[in-house]
Structure 1
């Protein structure tokens, strides 16, 4: 994925199934593709400072409001119930991170730490994947139950199958993230040697399009510090209601590719 055109091509293939929009017509997915990342690179203490800022902001918010009462968290809990998941047992990624801020956000690697912090700051679930490990384009669908998902259980590598009807992100090789934004698979996980990445910002009605774009801007500004020649592309997927009431993928809105390395 060394050229902007190929990033745009990857994003252009992404789609959300109509029956997913049928569950939540207010759902939008901001897809972000990035390459030119320098493995392991940090911008001085920026990554750590961002994590601390996210922790402080979350702790201040949670001193006034319970996690489950934060509007976007509450909407994701409702969305999970709509496809049969129990949000008390399988928490969306935003809720899971917010609950960890009391003891400190996890430190994994520069890319993961960065998008986790942006997720907490903007109250938006974000997933990050190694773009070079993708097979085909990303898609969000209701599972048949036959798809494969590689994960770890009890310290051992295992392959699971999602529940029929579960909302999952997939590529041609299998499930990349279960239960919309609950748990990501191992095959496409971000690593220390990742040079190209794919991010998904998930929004429901509590988040406006403007707020979603601002979160993407923040993510891209932070990513721009992870290499001298970072290239980016993004695409917003939304629903439009047809005469029969079913959701369909809206015409893609692809922002012009731009280099965000000078943002601060």
Structure 2
């Protein structure tokens, strides 16, 4: 999948004309279990997390309501993550983007590029798309609601409710070497802060994997 082929459907931008996303593909990552370095990133981010009533978080709750989701029941990813004390330790790469997410109150998704089938795109769901997840410890296949905003590829949904829950198939593991990162912005976040967050994530990825190659692309409303 090429970064220039990823797209956002007009039905999504009609719902939120202020939506923008910074796409980053990193090639040649070296992942591993959480360590003192990634724990320090998480601790610093948690210390500077925005309050629960911050306008950046409110914007995502409003976006969820716009397509029929209840943000108190299925919280936007950064809203849910920011509430966790301490922040969860997953692995080096996930810790890196979670730290940037909480620091900027910015939803960030990380996906194993090798697990994609076809092109990533953000669309309104038909309700028929498969979504592989886990329920009570057992693998299950679920489906989004009609009109729900989802990231998907040719095989099915990769993330439900815009950025609420990722599928099992494309999760970043310690074996991941190439990854797609999706940084999602709504106003009042400025595009400059979105781009700065991408630069900070790139710096952390290069600290973990000095030989990593990063491509980026901004999808944004006309300025």
Segments of 5+ residues of structure 2 without an aligned counterpart are none
Deviations 1:67-120 (A, max 9, x none): 0x21110000000000000000000001001111xx200111111111111100
1:86 aligns with 2:70: yes
Quote the residue 2:146 is aligned against. 164
1:45 aligns with 2:36: yes
For the 8 Å contact 2:31–2:93, the answer to whether it is kept is: no
Aligned length: 223
Quote the residue 2:8 is aligned against. 16
Q: The residue matched to 1:117 in structure 2 has which SS?
A: helix
Provide the TM-score with structure 2 as the length reference.
0.96
For the 8 Å contact 1:41–1:227, the answer to whether it is kept is: no
Quote the residue 2:47 is aligned against. 56
Separation (CA, whole Å) in 2 of partners of 1:239 and 1:173? 28
- 5 Å matches for 1:1-264? 10-40=2-32, 45-58=36-49, 61-62=50-51, 67=52, 69-100=53-84, 103-240=85-222
Q: The residue matched to 2:82 in structure 1 has which SS?
A: helix
Separation (CA, whole Å) in 1 of partners of 2:212 and 2:37? 17
Provide the TM-score with structure 1 as the length reference.
0.82
Deviations 1:218-244 (A, max 9, x none): 00000111223100001111234xxxx
Report the alpha carbon displacement of residue 41 of structure 1 after superposing the two structures with TM: 7.2
Separation (CA, whole Å) in 1 of partners of 2:58 and 2:126? 27
For the 8 Å contact 2:33–2:90, the answer to whether it is kept is: no
Report the alpha carbon displacement of residue 46 of structure 1 after superposing the two structures with TM: 2.5
How large is the Cα RMSD of the aligned pairs?
Answer: 1.4
Larger Rg: 1
